[in-house]
Amino acid sequence: MKKRILFVCLGNICRSPAAEGIMQKFIDEKGLTDSFELGSAGLYGGHAGELPDHRMRVHAAKRGYELIHRSRPFKTIDFDNYDIIVAMDDSNYHRLTSLAPTLEDQKKVVRMIDYVKGFPQYHSVPDPYYEGAEGFEIVLDLLEDGCRNMLEHLSEESQM
C-alpha cells in the first residue's frame, strides 16, 4: 500500500510545495515512485490556485527541483486521505493537531524539524516569505536534510 504524505505550511507557496518537490525527487531517485503519494496544502487559503512563490521556484530550480504544485487550502478530509501530515513550524503543528477529528488523526501530525539532523540551531522550518535570498536557501537546506532522513526512516520501517 502506498504511503501518503502531506506537507503543510501557512501559504502553500514556499515551504510545503518545496518539501513536496524535494521529497518527490528523492523518492524517484530511489526507484520508490510507486510506493508513495505526496501532496501539500496551506492553512491560509489566500494563495489558492497559485504556483509556488517565484523566489522559491528560482532557488529550488538551482538545486534541480521543478516546483509545479498549485496552492490549495488544507481540509479536514486530508486526515482521511493521508497517513503522515508534516508541519513546517509550531504554529502549523498546533493548528493541525487542533483540527484533527480523532486522536489517531492527531498522531499523524509530525514536525519537519524533528527529521532534520544537521542544523541543531533551528527549531522549525522558518517562514521565508518576508526574508531575502538567504531565507529561501536555509529553508531548502533544512528540507533536503529532513526529507532525506524521513525517507530513510520510512524505507527502514517498511523495508522497501
6, 10, 113, 142: which one binds ligand 4NP (CB under 6 A): 10
Cα–Cα distances in angstroms (integers) from residue 33 to residues 23, 24, 37, 148, in the given order: 10, 8, 8, 15
Residue 67 near ligand 4NP by CB under 6 A: no
Instruction: State in Å, rounded, how far the first CA of the chain is from the last one.
Output: 11
- Residue 70 appears among annotated catalytic residues: no
Residue 122 near ligand 4NP by CB under 6 A: no
Strand partners, 40: 7
Strand partners, 111: 87
Residue with Cβ nearer ligand 4NP (12 or 24):
12
Cα 135 from Cα 138, distance rounded (Å): 5
Residue 112 near ligand 4NP by CB under 6 A: no
Cα 95 from Cα 106, distance rounded (Å): 11
Residue 6 near ligand 4NP by CB under 6 A: no
Residue 14 near ligand 4NP by CB under 6 A: yes
Instruction: Compute the least distance from the CB of residue 83 to ligand 4NP, in Å.
Output: 22
Residue with Cβ nearer ligand 4NP (39 or 42):
42
- Residue 127 appears among annotated catalytic residues: yes
Residue with Cβ nearer ligand 4NP (67 or 150):
67
Instruction: Compute the least distance from the CB of residue 70 to ligand 4NP, in Å.
Output: 13
Cα 96 from Cα 107, distance rounded (Å): 10
Residue 20 near ligand 4NP by CB under 6 A: no
- Residue 80 appears among annotated catalytic residues: no
**Virtual torsion, Cα 129, 130, 132, 137, nearest 10 deg:** -30
**Under a CB-based contact definition with an 8 Å cutoff, are residues 8 and 40 in contact?**
yes
Using CB under 6 A, list all residues that contact ligand 4NP. Answer: 9-15, 42, 46, 127, 129
